[in-house]
Structure 1
Amino acid sequence: MHIAEGFLPPLHAAAWTAVAAPFVIHGTRSAGRIVRENPSARLLLGAAGAFTFVLSAIKLPSVTGSSSHPTGTGVGAILFRPPVMALLGTIVLLFQALLLAHGGLTTLGANAVSLAVVGPWVGYGLYRLLERAPLPLKVFAAVAGADLATYVTTATQLALAFPEGGFLAAWGRFLSVFAVTQVPLAIVEGLVGVLLINTLLSWARPELEDLGVVSREREASHV
């Protein structure tokens, strides 16, 4: 997920930054609109950013000297929709690059596309696709899916930058590096997401209803 500073060729780094920029701009506008329309959601918005920061800062050793990370963006995508997570995720990545040496400034755009754009959109897409399913199943699929989609995207970015043996061969190698740790990690993150949403329902259900995360009539019987 965190491609290191200077690891990507300059042209690739610039291209991914250009891809990420409109999503972050749109996310900034979306976050401002949510705060104006639901002032009570400010605390929850900050909590979503903090949750992403903490989870994605956890570094777990993987094979061949690499590492795997939770992402924390699936829950935020459920709460505030993917555009907002483009903003929050990029802010998180920026602070991690400056304070924790996770990722980098030149690779911020690439890391933002994988963690803050693709991951949230895949997670939210799964959440909506399973609209009629029980809430815990929807949340688990969204959170785990966002985690896995982030790593698939990162593997794609690396394979495009370093296509030794061809893109597909390189893509398979990069995916296999993380698969051993990332698949179980995604499952664990999905379960944590279910516990977190259930906890939020116990003390912030009105805010979740205002945000459209759950309805007043139907979801209560599914939790």
Structure 2
Amino acid sequence: MFKSILSLTLFLFLLKGNNSYSMHIMEGYLPVGWSIFWWALYLPFFFYGVKKLKANLKGNLDKKLLVALIGAFIFLVSSLKLPSLTGSSSHATGVGLGAILLGPSGVFVLGAIVLFFQATLLAHGGYTTLGANAISMTVVGALVSYGIYKGLRKKVGEKTAIFLAAALGDFMTYVVTSIQLALAHPAAGSDYLQSAIKFLGVFSITQIPLAIIEGLVTVIIINMLPKELMENSLLAGEYEKEEKIEGAKVNG
């Protein structure tokens, strides 16, 4: 099973190609004031995530392996890009998988690491815009994915909840990116809301299919993960809590 996951990851990497289109919001595209604002908004999430991640990983080698796998997945799938708006592009995010298996706090950290290395090694995104990209992808995307999964799992079933969580978390990333671009570069003769809708309309052409694909791939990967890795995921912890609650009700 683990070899199958590695093969899928390698396949995604080979699909990435060598296009020079910038992904996320590119370096220098946001005014200095907005760059500082998004960085300031993001840093508390980052430090909170570091604290939670350190506590969860302490002395747990298997969970470290799971975190490394999720980080690699986010890096690779978010490098699969399609040209879209000037200064940005459409791409999968991978944060749904991380949010479901680790919780959103882990993604707050992993996402920043991914964005940093993509800016450094691939010239995708940028350092000044990293805060804005982190808010849209690793904070909002992760929180939406986690919230949808938790809220719908018992109502619509496991696989459907995973699909919706990954797909809608992906799409919400671009809703926020559209707002960020509209605030920084409102269209002539339009207010901020109208500009955001125009940005999102362009993104949606490529992002909706990508979000659907990401939802399907996330379901497949979670079903493929080896049992020893899943035992260290947030899912395993949630199931254990539910079993204890159900057991307490029966005994009560």
TM over 0.5: yes
Say which of 217, 226, 231 aligns to 1:192. Answer: 217
What TM-score, normalized to structure 2? Answer: 0.81
The structure with more radius of gyration: 2
2:197: which partner in 1? 172
Contact 2:96–2:166 under 8 Å retained in 1: yes
Say which of 132, 145, 150 aligns to 2:173. Answer: 150
Say which of 35, 55, 63 aligns to 2:57. Answer: 35
1:135: which partner in 2? 158
Say which of 229, 233, 237 aligns to 1:204. Answer: 229
- 1:62-81 deviation digits (Å, cap 9, x = unpaired): 47796310000110001111
1:67 equivalent to 2:89? Answer yes
1:221: which partner in 2? none
Give, in angstroms, the shift of residue 146 of structure 1.
1.1
1:94: which partner in 2? 116
2:20: which partner in 1? none
**For structure 1, which runs of at least 5 residues remain unmatched after alignment?**
219-223
Contact 1:209–1:215 under 8 Å retained in 2: no
1:125: which partner in 2? 147
Aligned-residue RMSD, C-alpha: 2.1
Contact 1:23–1:83 under 8 Å retained in 2: yes
Letter in 2 for 1:107: T
Contact 2:182–2:199 under 8 Å retained in 1: yes
- 1:199-223 deviation digits (Å, cap 9, x = unpaired): 11555342237752545988xxxxx
- 1:8-47 deviation digits (Å, cap 9, x = unpaired): 0100000000000000001111110110164320100000
- Length, aligned pairs only: 218
The CA distance in 2 between the partners of 1:174 and 1:210, in whole Å, is 35
Using a 3 Å threshold, how does the CA distance of structure 1 residues 137 and 214 change in structure 2: closer, same or farther?
A: farther
Q: Tell which deviates more after alignment, 51-60 or 36-45.
A: 36-45
What TM-score, normalized to structure 1? Answer: 0.91
Give, in angstroms, the shift of residue 169 of structure 1.
1.3
2:37: which partner in 1? 15
2:66: which partner in 1? 44
The CA distance in 2 between the partners of 1:209 and 1:82, in whole Å, is 10
Write out the 4+ residue segments of structure 1 that deviate beyond 4 Å after TM superposition. Answer: 63-66, 213-218
* Identity percentage of aligned residues: 47
The CA distance in 1 between the partners of 2:179 and 2:222, in whole Å, is 31
